[in-house]
Amino acid sequence: MISVRLSKELEEKINNLSEQKNVTKSDIIKEALEKYIEEQEKQTKPYELGVELFGKHGSGKGNLSKTYKKKVREKINEKHPH
């Protein structure tokens, strides 16, 4: 069982809806949570958006993450020699 604190306004809206639809407040809350969870599960995660592209166009140089400082320094020195 889960307890949830609601604002007075939201609780009043649920009470009114419960009376209008002749259903329990629990049923209204359960249905709302089910819809919310379904929507969250449908949303595409950032990784899933790019998964087909990851690693597709490699540089062929497996050490770029280890030598990036050196590469940056070289580029700067090319543009601004001492």
Averaged pLDDT, 48-59? 77
* Short-list 4, 48, 54, CA closest to 26: 4
Q: Is pLDDT of 56 > 70?
A: no
Q: For the chain, which residues make up each domain, given as ranges? A: 7-56
User: Is 37's pLDDT higher than 90?
Assistant: yes
DSSP letters of 31-77?
A: HHHHHHHHHHHHSPPHHHHHTTTTTTT--S-TTTTTSHHHHHHHHHH
Read off the pTM: 0.53
CA 33 to chain centre: 18
Nearest CA to 17 out of 2, 3, 31 is that of 31
